[in-house]
Amino acid sequence: MARVAEVMREKLEAAFAPERLDVVDDSDKHAGHAGSHGSGESHFTIKITAEGFRGVGRLQRQRQVYAALKEELAGPVHALSLQASAPGE
């Protein structure tokens, strides 16, 4: 696993103790697009299921994930597709 994806995985595991966590580097699908710097690790899809999201609205879930990944989103990550859910959703 590449370094940015690994760091994001570690941060999300520490922040949410997820039941499910998929971190997928989609950068190859965006080569030549704005924000693609050509070295990969700029576009990601994250699917996370965590008990901490139970009773929390979609926007607040996104804000929680963005807060956990603030350094990556300010730096190497240009785009993030996010699906955050509670168990059973």
Q: Which tens digits make up the pLDDT trace of 45-72?
A: 999 999 999 999 999 999 999 999 999 9
Q: What is the pLDDT of residues 12-36, one digit of tens each?
A: 999 999 999 999 998 877 555 655 5
* Cα–Cα distance for residue pair 45/67, rounded to 1 Å: 16
CB atoms within 10 A of CB 24: 12
Q: Does domain 3-85 have CATH number 3.30.300.90?
A: yes
Residue 46, strand partner residues? 23, 82
**What is the reported pLDDT for 39?**
62
Is the whole-model pTM more than 0.95? no
Residues 6+ apart with CB under 8 A from 37: 78
Could you tell me where the DSSP H helices lie in the chain?
3-16, 58-68, 70-74
